[in-house]
A = this chain, B = another copy of it.
C-alpha cells in the first residue's frame, strides 16, 4: 500500500469539511448540523471494506475511532456514539463516527436515510472544526 497514492472520493469531498490527517486516516466533518458526524478515511488507495485493512492498520483505525469518539463525547448533550463502515453508495472505505443524542432528528434510528442534511451556519462550522483540530492535535 502506498499512502502517497491516496485520493479522496469526490462524493466524500463534496459532502464534508476537511478537519485534518490522523496517522492513518483523513478526518472529515459531514456538513449536516443535525448530528456531530465525522468520517475517518484510511489513506490507503483502492480499499472498500473494513476487512481489507491489514492488522496494523485495523488496530490503528480502532485507536482513531476511540480518540475521535472521546472528543465527540465532550460536545454538549451527547449520549453515545454510532460507528459504521457501509460504503454501499460510495466505494471508498470510510468509517462513520457519529455523536448521537436521544433528542436528535433520527433517534433511535441510524442517521443514514434520515432525510436531507441541514448545512451548518459558517460560524458553527469553524468552532467545531477548531475544537476537533485542537483536541486531536491537528493544529
Contact = CB atoms under 8 A, between A and B. Distances in A.
Number of copies of chain A assembled together: 2
A30 interface: no
Contacts of A50: 62, 65-66, 69, 81, 83
Contacts of A2: none
Interface of A: 48-51, 53, 55, 58-59, 61-63, 65-66, 69-70, 80-89, 100, 107-110, 112-113
A137 B81 CA distance: 32
Contact of A66 (B48, B51, B66, B87): B51
Given A50-B83, A53-B62, A82-B86, 14 more contacts: A48-B80, A49-B83, A50-B62, A51-B65, A55-B62, A58-B59, A58-B65, A82-B84, A82-B87, A83-B86, A84-B85, A86-B110, A88-B108, A110-B113
